[in-house]
């Protein structure tokens, strides 16, 4: 058996930035369960993913009953389901047993859990009250969950493309500059790094961030436009990041917890509280999604400006080369 310490778990599995719900209410328990599971069992990440789905479906069954004791039981089971869901990724990172199939399975089962619990929770309330608003609330929950993760995936993909294009352009500009200077008899310094600030690196606030605490890189981001417009944002971000909490305070995680934990608990105390709590969670999710879209729009403008500058430099250096000299570099596109 392995001998991982609690510090090993924290350093190698905690994300450098994560949802505040995860940081404050899940990680303290999950880290200890991960240590025990990794050291004392042969449980795999995929088995944990399946277990998380089973607990999620059990939570849905409790929600469907609709009476207050079952709503509380459903909320507890959903939280335990999410804890297992966090554990599968931590075990994979700790043991190096992650896989593409495991990531796909985790994503699909998360969506199945949300769909099943949304239908069960709202159907139970509809059966108890005959209020058709619960049916529309279920549709809204499923739609917002789908929208949130589709948007995150697409932004992640486009950002990756932007990084690749800018880095290729930076490399091409550097190689052409060095070739032009050598053609003119100059000897460039070996440690020069032309336009390193122009590269688009990882967005430290992207939800799909996979870096862990021990990585602790220094990251420069291409978000000058947003930072110039909201200079106070950096101070708030730094305070939150000191506790590993990402500034995106109402993400898909907090939305799910609002719907499937906070709302059932509130309804167990105050009849009819589910729809107002879900509406408040949805409003918070949409507000932060608009901020992300706005930041992405500003980043795309910074990207276009940076790429245009790099292409101008590429053309300048290319024209400075002797007509008979060719330099083989990748196209900036």
CA 160 to chain centre: 14
Q: Between the CA of residue 238 and those of 231, 245, 322, what are the distances in Å? A: 12, 9, 49
CB proximity list for 241: less than 8 A, separation 6 or greater:
17, 204, 247
- What's residue 123's pLDDT? 97
Number of H helices, E strands in the chain: 12, 0
Regions of the chain where pLDDT drops below 70:
1, 187-227, 323-333
The tens digit of pLDDT for each residue in 25-45 reads 999 999 999 999 999 999 999
CA distance 252 to 100: 22
**Residue found by looking up tokens 């859990």 in the block:** 113
The tens digit of pLDDT for each residue in 101-130 reads 999 999 999 999 999 999 999 999 999 999
Nearest to 79 by CA among 26, 32, 154: 26
- What's residue 328's pLDDT? 54
- What's residue 185's pLDDT? 73
- What's residue 187's pLDDT? 64
CA 93 to chain centre: 16
CA distance 160 to 179: 29
Q: Which helix (H) or strand (E) holds 84?
A: helix 68-95
- What's residue 68's pLDDT? 96
């Amino acid at each position: 058996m392995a001998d991982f310490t609690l510090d090993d778990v924290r350093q190698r599995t905690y994300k450098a930035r994560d949802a505040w719900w995860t940081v404050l209410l899940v990680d303290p328990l999950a880290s200890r369960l991960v240590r025990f599971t990794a050291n004392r069992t042969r449980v795999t990440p995929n088995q944990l993913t399946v277990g998380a789905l089973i607990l999620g479906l059990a939570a849905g069954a409790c929600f469907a009953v609709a009476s207050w004791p079952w709503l509380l039981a459903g909320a507890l089971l959903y939280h335990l389901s999410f804890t297992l869901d966090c554990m599968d990724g931590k075990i994979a990172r700790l043991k190096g047993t992650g896989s593409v199939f495991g990531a796909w399975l985790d994503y699909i089962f998360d969506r199945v859990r949300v769909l099943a619990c949304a239908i069960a929770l709202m159907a139970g309330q509809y059966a108890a009250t005959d209020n058709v608003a619960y049916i529309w609330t279920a549709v809204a929950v499923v739609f917002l969950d789908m929208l949130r993760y589709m948007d995150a995936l697409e932004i992640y993909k486009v950002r990756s493309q932007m990084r690749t294009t800018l880095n290729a352009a930076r490399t091409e500009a550097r190689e052409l500059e060095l070739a032009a200077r050598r053609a003119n008899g100059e000897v460039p310094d070996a440690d020069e790094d032309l336009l390193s600030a122009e590269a688009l690196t990882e967005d430290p606030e992207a939800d799909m961030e996979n870096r862990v605490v021990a990585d602790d890189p220094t990251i420069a981001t291409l978000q000058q436009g947003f930072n110039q417009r909201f200079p106070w944002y950096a101070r708030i971000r730094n305070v939150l990041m000191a506790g590993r909490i990402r500034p995106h305070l109402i993400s898909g995680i907090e939305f799910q917890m609002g719907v499937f934990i906070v709302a059932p608990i509130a309804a167990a105390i105050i009849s009819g509280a589910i729809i107002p709590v879900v509406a408040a969670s949805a409003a918070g999710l949409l507000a932060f999604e608009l901020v992300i879209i706005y930041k992405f729009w500003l980043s795309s403008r910074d990207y276009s400006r940076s790429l245009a500058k790099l292409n101008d430099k590429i053309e300048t250096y290319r024209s400075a080369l002797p007509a008979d000299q060719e330099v083989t570099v990748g196209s900036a596109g």
